[in-house]
């Protein structure tokens, strides 16, 4: 996986998480529309797995330490965490 691809997946994962938390969940619990959580949650789950696979690929490609890989994995459960990883641990240019 290229660094550019990982960046794209990272940004999509952040976007899907925010849509899930800020749009789909309120629609489910305030307006009783659970279908949005089903589809947005499914998409976010796929992107989450791709993000973790990409973090593993970056671990190998960029010779990250295990600590950096662990931080990247942990950041995936924080709404804007992947953006932090992108800015702190990825090279500025691909």
pLDDT above 90 as % of the chain: 95
At 94, the pLDDT band (50, 70, 90 cuts) reads low
What is the helix (H) or strand (E) element at residue 89, kind and residue range?
helix 81-89
Rounded to a whole number, what is the largest CA-CA distance in the chain?
47
- Other C-beta atoms within 10 Å of 82: how many? 26
- State how far Cα 52 lies from the chain centre: 8
pLDDT of 47 over the 80 cut: yes
Instruction: Give the pLDDT score at 23.
Output: 96
**Do the Cβ atoms of 7 and 68 come closer than 8 Å?**
no
This prediction has a pTM of: 0.90
Is the pLDDT assigned to residue 48 strictly greater than 60?
yes
Q: In the predicted model, what is the mean pLDDT of residues 26-45?
A: 95
Report how far residue 94's alpha carbon sits from residue 50's, in angstroms, rounded to the nearest whole number: 19
62 contact partners, CB below 8 Å, separation of at least 6: 3, 89, 90, 91
């Amino acid at each position: 996986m290229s660094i550019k691809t990982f960046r794209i997946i990272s940004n999509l994962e952040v976007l899907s998480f925010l849509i899930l938390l800020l749009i789909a969940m309120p629609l489910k619990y305030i307006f009783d529309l659970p279908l949005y959580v089903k589809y947005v949650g499914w998409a976010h789950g796929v992107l989450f797995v791709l993000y973790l696979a990409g973090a593993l690929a970056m671990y190998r490609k960029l010779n990250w330490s295990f600590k950096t890989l662990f931080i990247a994995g942990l950041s995936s459960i924080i709404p804007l965490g992947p953006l932090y990883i992108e800015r702190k641990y990825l090279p500025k240019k691909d």
